[in-house]
Homo-oligomer: A and B are copies of this chain.
């Protein structure tokens, strides 16, 4: 950690802080410059959190050297983690397509949608039962009843399934129905929820928050991982920027960057990432090219009657086209369909 002191800071202030650094077992460094005194602390700087050096009145700013996540980083484990998803595996040399409707709406809808995505090669089924909606007046999901329907479709078509969890109190209940939890963007920093999931062993797809930095995303993963659940899959789903022509700005830079820093699998959600049906397949191809381990997309046997997110859901023709067009890109990437 590098600590820059204010111009008016005296050597005495510096000595005071250096003593603090030493007190937690780090090696202190004194660097008097022409315009500023700079201090350093060598060693595992995560222990410096407790000192709260930034609060010192003579400290101008503090620059960490190490990233604050640890267990999910490549420095702790250089090889790629592979995560179980039902009988499948996410990560490593394969590319996984998980698909299904935004929300489970009724038996016919989930069954027909599952049949559709199975037919063209999806390896997993998605479907929300607890829907966090911006407006209290929007459809909020079928709740546990929806999970039962999802599980039936999952078993019927031999597709492991994933559904969003929004309450720490639901961990045990939901674990009975689904092969993976999804933590939605709005809950990426719901730490109570992350810890509860971390104490289970259920595979979890962790979506990036709308305005979460890559570091915050990896720290959210660290919350789950450090509680003992190593089955974490990162999901880039678009960030919020000034651009509104698309629903979100899909940050594929983040995928490429995270693959260099973390050993966890990374998938992409081009449905929320664009919000526009016509762009979903295109951005799924870009996801392959930038190194993602899979995509999770919204598909519905009849998007026109969908109760949510119909404008970004693929119908059969669009899903078939996406799967067909993905194939040469998956090959170009030297991967196989999961």
Contacts and interface: CB of A to CB of B under 8 A. Distances in A.
Interface of A: 2, 4, 7, 27, 29, 31-36, 38, 40, 42-44, 46, 49-50, 52, 54-57, 59, 63, 65-66, 68-69, 75, 130, 132-140, 166-169, 186-187, 189-192, 209-211, 213-216, 219, 222-223, 226-227, 238-246, 248-254, 256-257, 260, 273-274, 276, 278-279, 282-283, 285-291, 303-311, 313, 328-329, 331-332
A210 B209 CA distance: 10
A223 B136 CA distance: 5
Q: In the complex, which of the residues A2, A191, A223 has the most CB atoms of chain B within 10 Å of its own CB atom?
A: A191
A214 B331 CA distance: 32
Nearest to A290: B286
Given A57-B304, A133-B191, A257-B279, A331 B328 contact: yes
Contact of A289 (B55, B285, B310): B285
Nearest to A74: B7
A42 B31 contact: yes
Contacts of A140: 191
B139 A283 contact: no
Given A63-B2, A239-B249, A305-B52, A329 B289 contact: yes
A319 B213 CA distance: 29
Given A42-B34, A226-B136, A254 B260 contact: no
Nearest to A188: B186
Contact of A211 (B69, B242, B329): B242
15 contacts: A2-B2, A2-B63, A29-B29, A31-B40, A38-B42, A54-B310, A55-B304, A55-B310, A132-B189, A211-B211, A213-B243, A249-B251, A249-B253, A253-B274, A253-B283
Contacts of A66: 35-36
Q: In the complex, which of the residues A31, A36, A52, A56 has the most CB atoms of chain B within 10 Å of its own CB atom?
A: A52
Nearest to A215: B245
Contacts of A32: 42
A43 B52 contact: no
Contacts of A251: 241, 243, 249-250
Given A55-B311, A289-B286, A273 B253 contact: yes
